[in-house]
């Protein structure tokens, strides 16, 4: 029983990690006033970039960084459309979500001789080495390094948002961009930086799936994780630690699927697999109306208009 609980915790942490990165991306973008529905697409691009980068260089860390860069590159599209051209942010995000899986498959087929999935790529290390704690009941707590990074990034983002002048400016731009503008803060620059960071974090999220949990890119490696991450942003009230906690909850449901699916459980596995998604819908229904988004979230800023 005890060993099972530890295993449960280990799996929860493992599956929440990609979500945490995605959700942090959502937090930073939305705090600056740009809705980023494209998190999912940016995670997909990060997933293929990480697998390819790791496979070709043999160094998973390079794969991780390439994923961040590619995520940011896709985010640049979103920034140009929604910040510079004041386009509808939902439409731009949806476009990215439709574009990204196609781009990922195309890249995969080009790079790997027409295969729809990448070969096995080197994975990022576990925190205590490959066989740390092996044989003890705590083996499953020897989590991947990305899990620790996710927590670290959460703490850093919290510090930056609430304890530094840059954080104050980001939050001001997300709440009242005209006010920030009249005080000499460059609203467009702040939003560009935040959207690019958002793409980078989402890219890391994709990487932590393909070279943290599994060790290759497949078409289903990222399937709705970006959307779950967005739900976590709302559930977590647009704060880094709130989003982190929400991701743990969603990771927990994923762990539940695995734990229950493994045994002779009466519910068919197909039904169980719906759990994380069903949970997302329930959480959104319960919390969407109540939590308060940044005031200017999703509203393009046009200088001189009120």
Q: Which of 110, 134, 295, 302 binds other proteins (CB under 8 A)?
A: 295
CB of 282 to other proteins, least distance (A): 22
183 binds other proteins, rule: CB under 8 A: yes
CB 11 within 8 A of CB 37: no
CA pair distance 264, 257, nearest whole angstrom? 13
CB 143 within 8 A of CB 127: yes
Q: How many CB atoms lie within 10 A of CB 123?
A: 21
Task: Give the residue carrying structure tokens 């809705």.
Answer: 35
CB of 181 to other proteins, least distance (A): 7
**Lookup: tokens for 273:** 């697999």
306 binds other proteins, rule: CB under 8 A: yes
Region binding other proteins by CB under 8 A among candidate stretches 28-36, 76-84, 183-191, 246-254? 183-191
**End-to-end C-alpha distance for the chain, whole angstroms:** 61
Site string for other proteins, 149-168 (x = CB under 8 A): --------------xxxx-x
Region binding other proteins by CB under 8 A among candidate stretches 39-47, 70-78, 118-126, 182-190? 182-190
181 binds other proteins, rule: CB under 8 A: yes
Give SS3 for 144.
strand
Interacting positions 8-67 with other proteins (CB under 8 A)? none
CA pair distance 105, 109, nearest whole angstrom? 6
Which residues of the shown chain bind other proteins in the complex (CB under 8 A)? 163-166, 168-169, 171-172, 175-176, 178-185, 295, 303-304, 306
């Amino acid at each position: 029983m005890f060993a099972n609980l530890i295993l449960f915790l280990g799996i929860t942490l493992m599956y929440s990690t990609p979500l945490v990165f995605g959700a942090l991306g959502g937090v930073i973008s939305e705090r600056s006033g740009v809705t980023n529905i494209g998190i999912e697409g940016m995670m997909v691009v990060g997933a293929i970039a990480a697998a390819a980068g790791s496979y070709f260089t043999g160094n998973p860390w390079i794969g991780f960084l390439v994923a961040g860069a590619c995520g940011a590159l896709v985010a640049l599209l979103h920034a140009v459309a929604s910040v510079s051209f004041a386009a509808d942010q939902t439409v731009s995000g949806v476009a990215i979500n439709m574009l990204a899986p196609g781009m990922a498959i195309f890249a995969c087929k080009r790079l790997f001789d027409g295969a729809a999935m990448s070969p096995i790529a080197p994975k990022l290390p576990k925190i205590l080495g490959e066989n740390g704690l092996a044989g003890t009941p705590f083996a499953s707590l020897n989590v991947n390094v990305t899990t620790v990074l996710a927590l670290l990034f959460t703490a850093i983002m919290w510090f930056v948002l609430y304890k530094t002048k840059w954080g104050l400016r980001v939050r001001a731009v997300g709440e009242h961009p005209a006010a920030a503008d009249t005080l000499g803060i460059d609203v467009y620059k702040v939003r560009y930086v935040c959207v690019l960071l958002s793409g980078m974090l989402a890219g890391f999220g994709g990487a932590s799936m393909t070279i943290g949990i599994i060790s290759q890119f497949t078409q289903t490696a990222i399937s709705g994780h970006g959307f779950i991450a967005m739900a976590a942003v709302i559930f977590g009230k647009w704060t880094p630690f709130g989003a982190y906690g929400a991701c743990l909850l969603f990771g927990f449901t994923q762990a539940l699927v695995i734990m229950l699916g493994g045994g002779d459980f009466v519910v068919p596995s197909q039904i169980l697999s719906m759990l994380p998604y069903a949970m997302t819908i329930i959480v959104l229904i319960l919390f969407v109306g109540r939590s308060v988004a940044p005031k200017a979230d999703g509203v393009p800023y046009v200088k001189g208009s009120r």
